[in-house]
Structure 1
Amino acid sequence: MRIGIVTLAAVLLAACASNEVANKPAELADVETPEVKFKRAWSKDVGAGSAGKFAALVPLVVDTRVFTADAKGRIRALDTGAGATLWSKSTDYRFVAGPGLGNGQVLLGTLDGEVVGFDTVTGEERWRTVVDAEVLAAPVEGGGRVVTRTVDGRVFGLDADNGEREWEFNRAAPALTLRGLSDPLVRGGNTIIGLDTGHVISLDTRTGDVDWEQLIREPTGRSELERIVDVDAQLLLDDGRLFTASYGGELVVLSAVTGREIWRRNLQSYTGMAVNGDQLYVTDAAGTVWALDVVTGAAIWDQSDLSYRGLTQPVWFRGNLIVGDYEGYLHVLSPADGRVIGRSRPARDAIRATPRIEGERLYVLATDGTLAALETVPVEP
């Protein structure tokens, strides 16, 4: 069966066609008394970015290096200190997912159904494997396997040394899905995957055998659009608990060991979550940021002043919550009450990739290929 794929913008437009005002991005109010400010350590143009296409390309920060790739086939390694280029390679690949890291390699997925491993030190290609369908999630390594997902619902386990196929798991995708996949979560010999069918599964990373499976959201409704239940929000593991969210409207916490449900609540999300202490933070499909009690799921606060601004997954950075948006802004939210307490604009194009943290710096990649390294600075009283 032919698989239909839609972007989130198309879904929201169709859902609210009768009320255009509902999807109008919120206008930004000034942060009159900022409590957090940023300074730019450096900023670089690292290529074509997503080249106007949907791509799950992110910055990969490892110790003193940051790796990037663009949709036109260029891959780079930069020094985190000042952003100096360590190496740069041009290829004929059309990268759309990654980079991931594993076994001394930078791992990337392509529009043409390939997974490619590059040496982290030299940038030389080590291997290439064809998986027959577009790779929309970053390949992830663990236990000698590179686990990768394709748009048609398959999961592959590849030999991390040479890319040879070791196993394949196949769960046919529904007739209509969102364009995007959550990355595999590889931990302790198991790989956990959120599926477009509304399920979460745990696979043995070495063999691909199913350890457990749990339904997050069952499809309902008459139309294929109404029945979209993709578990596209990035899975989050914390203290043995697995946090999952479906576009179908359920946020569910499971035991990472058994898949047993701990709690659930109604909340529609497709980006991801962050946790700190006793609070879980999540961006919903409308752009409202929520703080929930990590034990019960009860709402602590919600912040809707950034609605429909295409917010990223929230990240915890130096005691505050950070989200990026479609105009290249970073917003700083207070974890106590959700107030916007700071703002910076490191790019002029959309920030769709989750910001990355390494040490005292925040790394942001925009869709036009702008890569910025930011630090916080004291605010004068």
Structure 2
Amino acid sequence: MGCKRGPERVFEFSTDASSRAGLVGLEDGVLVSNEAGALVRLNRKGEPVWRVKLGQEVAGRPAVVGDSVLAGTVGGELVRLGLADGTERWRLTGEPPVMTGLVADEASVYVLGPDGAVRAHAMDTGQVKWRRPAPKPEETHLEPGQRLPAPELAGGVLAVSLGEAGLVGLSVENGEVRWRRLMGPVLGMTREGDTLYVSTRTGKTAAVGMTDGALRWEQSPAPVLTSPPTFVQGVLWVGATEPPQLLAVSPSNGKRLSSIPLPSPLVTQLAVHGEELVVPTSGREGLVLTLKRQGGAPVLTLRTDTPMRTQPVVLGDQLFVLGLDGRVLSWSLRPPEP
């Protein structure tokens, strides 16, 4: 899979430790965290705007709401920082480990514990507004070290995956159950309008009503799926293996539309640049491909030499990716001058 044009490297920045939390895209750069507890805001040149050290690994993707950054650690810290300068606004300790990406709105930050317990903290003070206990272990059947996917939030409902216990829609006001949907182990979710799209470890994709949990369709586009779904301009994209491939799925009925071969599996959501898909792959070479949606040879192939297991960020013509080794790499996707 060769390059058809030579991209310009903008920067390479090492966080000095491996990372699995993923990047958060900002208007003028990205936010990155690592297993050493570093949380760093980078501008478009790869220069640190600020750096904050937390007590332990930031394993789940932080959330940005308004002028605030919310982040948690595997040691049970939860902090709110100022987006502009990293100033601490409040910090909680002694909470359960934060392993899953946070979601937040203007009023609250919502935390999914590794056992499926859910809690909401007030945005202004950090005070716990409500807690919902975890399901029984025999209901979740979580494998050791298995991380639950990040929840989705819309219309006053927090959609949460609880392993074999399925999906649950919770009221953001008090944590009460709005709906339940048995779904099996969920790889990930994405929301478009009032529809929640889901992929599972058992090879299924499904569409569920966000507010009522009603099943709109369920399909099995491949025996083994490897990634959460991504909604891109009217099409759902999901990774599959045996062999590694990128599947296009109809969001209206879940039927498989097409497939594009990949050099190694896609295990995260993809990004988009104009009319091209930006696909990170999880092999040791760390290939990032830009692909036409109708398939064919890659328009561009970038090698990072570290597995790509989190979603890229595209800001205009600039691509940012995070390697498992904790490096943030950036390229210009603008075609070179003739």
TM-score, normalised to structure 1, is 0.79
- Counterpart contact for 2:155–2:211, Cα < 8 Å: no
Alignment of 1:41-56 (within 5 A): 41-50=10-19, 55=20
Alignment of 1:16-35 (within 5 A): 30-31=1-2, 34=4
- Counterpart contact for 1:355–1:363, Cα < 8 Å: yes
Partner residue of 1:190? 157
Which of 297, 305, 311 lines up with 1:348 in the alignment? 305
Secondary structure of the corresponding residue to residue 197 of structure 1: helix
- Counterpart contact for 1:273–1:281, Cα < 8 Å: yes
Deviations 1:283-333 (Å, cap 9, x if unpaired)? 1255321011221222221234424x4543222222111221232210122
Q: Which runs of 5+ in 2 are unaligned?
A: none
- Counterpart contact for 2:208–2:214, Cα < 8 Å: yes
Which of 247, 250, 256 lines up with 2:210 in the alignment? 256
Secondary structure of the corresponding residue to residue 183 of structure 1: coil
Secondary structure of the corresponding residue to residue 377 of structure 1: coil
Deviations 1:7-37 (Å, cap 9, x if unpaired)? xxxxxxxxxxxxxxxxxxxxxxx33x73x65
Which whole-Å CA distance do the structure 2 matches of 1:350 and 1:301 have between them? 25
Are 2:196 and 1:242 aligned? yes
Structure 1 residue 203: deviation in Å? 1.4
Structure 1 residue 260: deviation in Å? 1.2
Q: Which amino acid aligns with 1:64?
A: D
Which whole-Å CA distance do the structure 1 matches of 2:67 and 2:241 have between them? 36
Partner residue of 1:207? 174
C-alpha distance 89-278 of structure 1, shift in aligned 2 (>3 A): closer
Are 2:38 and 1:74 aligned? yes
Which whole-Å CA distance do the structure 1 matches of 2:25 and 2:146 have between them? 25
- Counterpart contact for 1:270–1:284, Cα < 8 Å: yes
Which whole-Å CA distance do the structure 2 matches of 1:108 and 1:362 have between them? 23
Structure 1 residue 270: deviation in Å? 4.8
- Counterpart contact for 2:317–2:334, Cα < 8 Å: no
CA RMSD of superposed structures (Å): 2.4
Task: Count matched residues.
Answer: 329
Partner residue of 1:332? 290
Partner residue of 1:181? 148
C-alpha distance 97-270 of structure 1, shift in aligned 2 (>3 A): same
Greater Cα shift, 310-319 or 63-72 = 310-319
Structure 1 residue 103: deviation in Å? 4.9
Are 2:317 and 1:360 aligned? yes
Secondary structure of the corresponding residue to residue 164 of structure 2: coil
Secondary structure of the corresponding residue to residue 95 of structure 1: coil
Over the matched positions of the two proteins, sequence identity in percent amounts to 22
C-alpha distance 338-199 of structure 1, shift in aligned 2 (>3 A): farther
TM-score, normalised to structure 2, is 0.88
Moved over 6 A (4+): none
Which of 19, 24, 29 lines up with 1:60 in the alignment? 24
